[in-house]
């Protein structure tokens, strides 16, 4: 009995001690994708020592936890990239709400309209996040009705990753400036190298087709969506031009057929295409590969914004951002902790640029340090020329898939352009009408 009493007292004292150790700590939760790499970076407490998306964001959180003097502890909750928004919505419904969550700016508007995320202008002013330093693209992507609803983290965009060795072999020393020049170059490239000019994810990755299509339409200074974001207009010359060009490239064999995302990137790495059309996030990977002696890209890799083929410089772009969710902070202290973490993220945003994504700070974008990163100087224009769907278009990720499916059909199955126009308009307008209810 005495032994039991001693143990009970010891346990009570331990519990009290544990409570004391945790006093003053403020825990907040951070929901994100970008993968899991705790085995490699779980103990890294300097953001500058992280490599790649997962490594940098993991080290960023670790450094904040290790260095902040306010007793704030950020607990990371990792979601899967594909079903991320389904997982987030399920958590919101069950009231298991993260304090902060990463959001694509193309998805942010849906959560703003449903009043699920908090406006942040007052918080930014209080903790010192300079909204005036946001790039044009970042400001547009995180602002709704004159208020800022998320901290921009990056701008990512649609690029041409180029095998300069194959281009030289084909006798091409400049990029095309029109659809006609592109087709002429593609035919010459195929004749000289026996390979297609392009690889991109045509199959099972419909977003790739949509992003290329939207880029080509935007370069013609055309507006697909109505001013109120409620309808799409596919019956305009810019749409016909874009779809016809994509169909011609595919039909003539200038795009490697039926590749998914992984296969398209691998074809480029294997030297099987001159250009792979994919985003900013692959720059770091392709650079590393190009530095290997055995690589088909060895000394022959460069990257440019999606080439301007029409009158206006424009490229599809989106961005990652961090939003504070209503009900995610349990009290004012947790809300303040979340605001301070966002300030820390902003202060270290230059580190994130090492992934290949573009800065959201004008100061960082113009800095010598950023421009000194390999291949970045040529990409800074995207912070001004990046375009996406207007913020008032709902369910953008779903709309992107609908457009991409039909654009894939215009290439893979040779579906007539006018049928694709009609199909996209009917399906997208139906989805937009349903989303507005």
263 and 359 co-located in one domain: no
Mean local confidence (pLDDT), 172-190: 98
Predicted confidence at residue 333, as pLDDT, reads 97
Average pLDDT, the chain: 92
**Is the pLDDT reported for residue 6 higher than 80?**
no
Predicted confidence at residue 13, as pLDDT, reads 37
346 and 309 co-located in one domain: no
213 and 234 co-located in one domain: yes
- Beta strand spans in 55-121 (E): 72-78, 100-104
243-247, 270-274, 412-416: least confidently modelled range: 412-416
**250 inside domain:** yes
Q: What confidence tens digit (pLDDT) does each residue in 274-318 have?
A: 999 999 989 988 998 999 999 999 999 999 999 999 999 999 999
**335 inside domain:** yes
53 and 138 co-located in one domain: yes
**3 inside domain:** no
Mean local confidence (pLDDT), 47-66: 96
Residues facing 158 on adjacent strands: 279
Quote the number of domains for the chain: 2
Is the separation of the CB atoms in 155 and 317 below 8 Å?
Answer: yes
**Is the pLDDT reported for residue 1 higher than 70?**
no
d(CA 384, CA 21): 49
**118 inside domain:** yes
30 and 177 co-located in one domain: no
Neighbours of 86 (CB within 10 A): 11
287 and 374 co-located in one domain: no
175 and 250 co-located in one domain: yes
Out of 378, 409, 426, a domain closes at 378
Predicted confidence at residue 63, as pLDDT, reads 98
Residues facing 318 on adjacent strands: 156
Question: Residues near 185 by Cβ (< 8 Å), separated by ≥ 6?
Answer: 170, 172, 176, 197
**Is the pLDDT reported for residue 423 higher than 60?**
yes
Predicted confidence at residue 141, as pLDDT, reads 94
**78 inside domain:** yes
Neighbours of 228 (CB within 10 A): 10
**Is the pLDDT reported for residue 204 higher than 90?**
no
112 and 240 co-located in one domain: no
182 and 299 co-located in one domain: yes
303 and 335 co-located in one domain: no
Residue of higher predicted confidence among 1 and 336: 336
207 and 61 co-located in one domain: no
Q: What confidence tens digit (pLDDT) does each residue in 8-19 have?
A: 444 433 333 333
Give the residue numbers spanning the domain of 147.
24-155+319-378
CATH code, 189: 3.40.190.10
**11 inside domain:** no
**Is the pLDDT reported for residue 365 higher than 80?**
yes
d(CA 404, CA 201): 11
**Is the pLDDT reported for residue 184 higher than 80?**
yes
Q: Residue-wise over 241-267: b if at least 16 C-beta within 10 A, else e?
A: bbbebbbebbeeebbbeebebebbbeb
pTM above 0.75, yes or no: yes
d(CA 225, CA 409): 22
181 and 313 co-located in one domain: yes
105-109, 201-205, 396-400, 408-412: least confidently modelled range: 201-205
Mean local confidence (pLDDT), 50-71: 96
Residue found under tokens 């200074």? 221
């Amino acid at each position: 009995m005495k032994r039991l009493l001693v143990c009970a007292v010891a346990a009570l004292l331990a519990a009290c001690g544990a409570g004391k150790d945790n006093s003053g700590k403020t825990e907040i939760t951070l929901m994100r994708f970008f993968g899991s790499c705790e085995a490699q970076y779980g103990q890294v407490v300097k953001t500058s020592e992280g490599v790649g998306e997962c490594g940098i964001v993991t080290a960023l959180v670790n450094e904040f936890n290790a260095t902040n003097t306010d007793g704030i502890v950020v607990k990371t909750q990792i979601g899967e990239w594909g079903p991320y928004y389904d997982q987030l919505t399920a958590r919101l419904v069950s009231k298991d709400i993260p304090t902060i969550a990463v959001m694509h700016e193309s998805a942010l508007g849906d959560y703003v309209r449903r009043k699920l995320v908090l406006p942040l202008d007052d918080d930014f002013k209080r903790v010192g996040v300079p909204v005036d330093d946001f790039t044009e693209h970042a400001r547009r992507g995180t602002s709704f009705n004159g208020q800022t609803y998320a901290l921009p983290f990056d701008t990512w965009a649609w690029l041409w990753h180029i095998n300069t060795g194959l281009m030289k072999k084909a006798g091409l020393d400049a990029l095309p400036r029109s659809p006609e020049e592109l087709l002429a170059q593609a035919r010459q490239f195929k004749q000289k190298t026996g390979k297609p000019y392009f690889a991109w994810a045509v199959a099972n990755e419909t977003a790739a087709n949509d992003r290329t299509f939207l880029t080509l339409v935007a370069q013609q200074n055309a507006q697909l969506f109505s001013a109120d974001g409620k309808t799409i207009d596919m019956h305009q010359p810019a749409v016909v031009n874009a779809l016809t060009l994509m169909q011609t490239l595919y039909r003539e064999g200038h795009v490697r057929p039926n590749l998914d995302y992984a296969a398209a990137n691998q074809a480029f790495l294997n030297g099987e295409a001159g250009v792979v059309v994919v985003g900013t996030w692959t720059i770091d990977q392709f650079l590393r590969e190009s530095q290997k002696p055995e690589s088909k890209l060895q000394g022959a890799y460069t990257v440019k914004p999606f080439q301007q083929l029409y009158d206006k410089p424009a490229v599809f772009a989106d961005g990652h951002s961090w939003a504070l969710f209503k009900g995610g902070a349990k009290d004012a202290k947790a809300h303040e902790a979340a605001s301070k973490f966002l300030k820390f993220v902003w202060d270290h945003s230059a580190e994130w640029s090492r992934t290949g994504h573009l800065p959201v700070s004008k100061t960082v974008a113009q800095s010598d340090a950023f421009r000194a990163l390999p291949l970045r100087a040529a990409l800074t224009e995207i912070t001004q020329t990046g375009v996406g769907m207007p913020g008032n278009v709902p369910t953008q990720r779903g709309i992107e898939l609908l457009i991409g499916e039909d654009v894939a059909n215009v290439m893979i199955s040779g579906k007539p352009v006018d049928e694709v126009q009609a199909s996209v308009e009917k399906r997208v307008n139906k989805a937009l009408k349903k989303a507005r209810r």
